[in-house]
Amino acid sequence: MKKFVLFFFFLISAWAEPKLKVVTTFSILADLVEQVGGDRVEVVSLVGEDQDPHMYEPKPSDIKKITDADLVFINGLGFEGWLHRLIKSSNYKGDLIIVSDAVHPRLVFEGTLIRDPHAWHSIPNAKIYVTNILEALKKRDPASKNYYEARAQAYTGTLTNLDHTIREEIDKIPPQRRKIITAHDAFGYFGNTYGVEFLAPKGISTETEAKVQNVVDLIKKIRKYKIKTVFIENIADPKLLRQIAKEGGATLGGTLYSDALSSKEGPAGTYLKMMNYNFGLLLKAMKQYP
């Protein structure tokens, strides 16, 4: 009995250790902060699993989450257009950390030249995110410096291994087979880093409707290049892609995780699982070419 009581007090004192309250804008970023912060951080994501950050409509409860936060992490590159009003409405006085700082942005022409926000789909960029997260956590909580550094280093090693695997496997695919159709232009950084061409009926945001001409061109390309597989995304309506696949004579290759993780039990519950899962589906599709 005495032992049990002691154990109980030990648990209470362990729980009493205050954790840094962190808010992130979307689920992929929440996981990256958790990988570095471990049990010294308590992370809340404003946009949840399988939700579309482009179309997010902030809730009144989000203001309180930001007001209560020790740190707020955002992607940047124009991804969270809805955030600044939230920050203004809150009493938040802490740092706003843009994790894509120092990433070389991919520029896309959509009427005007805009920066593609989906930088996380390239693992070298994810490593820059991790470095920025590490620096911010160390600055806010210097007592845990060694803890954060050890975790960031181990995680970066795992990221490097996956990066090498993806490069090795894609290098084996002839370049003319490396064409992939997705719902919106979310995989451009993956494409640039690993040498895959991604085509999509929608641009870098899911907000606008696909242009008819884009859809017609895409169907022509599927036929011309004999593309066998079309992918839907966890955050987008699959209807248009189903139609495109049908018209082009292709099949659906599954669901890619683009701007949000799956639930913890799903196939893309963490950033690493998401990258692994997407890469597995893409590789299978590219191997199916005639």
Span of 90-98, 128-136, 162-170, 185-193 interacting with Zn ion by CB under 5 A: 185-193
Residues, the chain: 290
Q: Are 105 and 116 within 8 A, CB to CB?
A: yes
Smaller CB separation from Zn ion, 34 or 259: 259
Minimum distance from residue 215 beta carbon to Zn ion (Å):
18
Minimum distance from residue 20 beta carbon to Zn ion (Å):
28
Minimum distance from residue 184 beta carbon to Zn ion (Å):
6
Q: Tell me the per-residue interface mask from 212 to 251 with Zn ion, x by CB under 5 A, - otherwise.
A: ----------------------------------------
116 sits near Zn ion (criterion: CB under 5 A): no
Smaller CB separation from Zn ion, 121 or 178: 121
Span of 83-91, 105-113, 164-172, 183-191 interacting with Zn ion by CB under 5 A: 183-191
Smaller CB separation from Zn ion, 54 or 177: 54
Residues 256-275 that bind Zn ion (CB under 5 A): 259
* Size of the residue set binding Zn ion (CB under 5 A): 2
Smaller CB separation from Zn ion, 186 or 286: 186
186 sits near Zn ion (criterion: CB under 5 A): yes
Smaller CB separation from Zn ion, 188 or 248: 188
Smaller CB separation from Zn ion, 49 or 70: 49
Minimum distance from residue 118 beta carbon to Zn ion (Å):
6
Residues that bind Zn ion (CB under 5 A): 186, 259
